[in-house]
């Protein structure tokens, strides 16, 4: 919540605000988010305009998540910019009762609630499928080992069980000691 009283309502007046707030719950997406309560740094410029307060800001915080391919933990720095107009509560009576009303950000009792704006900006900035690194090879589909840890990892081509015994015999007879099971 931001207090706009200091700003006043004279169009053109501006004020800058820097503050650190605890992250609200679910700031992000399921696989990548700012942990609840973690510090979010806000640098904001509030500008009084005719119909309300224009908020321009930058938020930065630390993200924690999980690579969608290898499930490794991801830690990343988040920085998002946003700009949003908050309309004075007493000047938004042109669509009384319409559903659009809920979409409008409002200056209520001189206060601005940035949470939804922040949440939208963060969600938009996040990758849909976060990866620990761009070329993360993921997990072996056969045994689940992280391929990044073991890039030369390989399995024999899937063998029909009826042939497995035979293949084992073959392997034993040609074992040269370099392979490990």
Taking the least distance from each CB to Zn ion, the nearer of 61 and 132 is 132
Q: Rule CB under 5 A: say whether 32 interacts with Zn ion.
A: no
Give the CA distances from residue 157 to residues 97, 100, 142, 164, in Å, rounded to whole numbers and listed in that order.
65, 58, 10, 11
Taking the least distance from each CB to Zn ion, the nearer of 124 and 143 is 143
Residues 6 or more apart whose Cβ sits within 8 Å of residue 110:
3, 4, 5
Q: Rule CB under 5 A: say whether 67 interacts with Zn ion.
A: yes
Q: Rule CB under 5 A: say whether 118 interacts with Zn ion.
A: no
Q: Rule CB under 5 A: say whether 143 interacts with Zn ion.
A: yes
Which of 32, 40, 57, 69 forms a contact with Zn ion (CB under 5 A)?
69
Give the CA distances from residue 74 to residues 64, 88, 124, 125, 146, in Å, rounded to whole numbers and listed in that order.
6, 40, 18, 16, 15
> Which residue stretch of 6-14, 142-150, 163-171, 173-181 sits at the interface with Zn ion (rule: CB under 5 A)?
142-150
Taking the least distance from each CB to Zn ion, the nearer of 99 and 152 is 152
d(CA 6, CA 151): 59
Taking the least distance from each CB to Zn ion, the nearer of 71 and 123 is 71
Q: Are 132 and 72 in contact (CB under 8 A)?
A: yes
d(CA 5, CA 13): 12
Taking the least distance from each CB to Zn ion, the nearer of 64 and 106 is 64
Among residues 159, 82, 68, the alpha carbon closest in space to that of 115 is found at: 82
Q: Rule CB under 5 A: say whether 140 interacts with Zn ion.
A: yes
> Which residue stretch of 7-15, 84-92, 94-102, 126-134 sits at the interface with Zn ion (rule: CB under 5 A)?
126-134
Q: Minimum distance between the CB of residue 132 and Zn ion, rounded to whole angstroms?
A: 3
d(CA 52, CA 86): 5
Residues within the interface to Zn ion (CB under 5 A): 67, 69-70, 72, 132, 136, 140, 142-143, 145
């Amino acid at each position: 919540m931001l207090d706009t009283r200091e700003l006043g309502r004279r169009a053109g007046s501006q004020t800058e605000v820097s503050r650190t707030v605890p992250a609200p719950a679910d700031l992000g997406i399921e696989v990548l988010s700012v942990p609840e309560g973690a510090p979010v740094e806000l640098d904001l410029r509030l500008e009084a305009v005719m119909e309300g307060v224009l908020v321009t800001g930058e938020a930065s915080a630390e993200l924690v998540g999980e690579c969608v391919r290898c499930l490794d933990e991801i830690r990343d720095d988040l920085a998002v910019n946003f700009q949003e107009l908050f309309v004075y509560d007493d000047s938004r009576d042109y669509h009384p009762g319409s559903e659009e009303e809920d979409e409008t950000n409002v200056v209520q009792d001189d206060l601005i609630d940035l949470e939804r704006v922040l949440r939208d900006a963060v969600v938009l900035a996040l990758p849909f499928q976060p990866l620990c690194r761009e070329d993360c090879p993921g997990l072996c589909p056969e045994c689940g080992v992280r391929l990044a840890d073991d890039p030369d990892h390989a399995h024999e081509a899937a063998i029909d069980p009826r042939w497995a015994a035979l293949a084992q015999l073959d392997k034993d007879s040609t074992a040269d000691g370099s392979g490990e099971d």
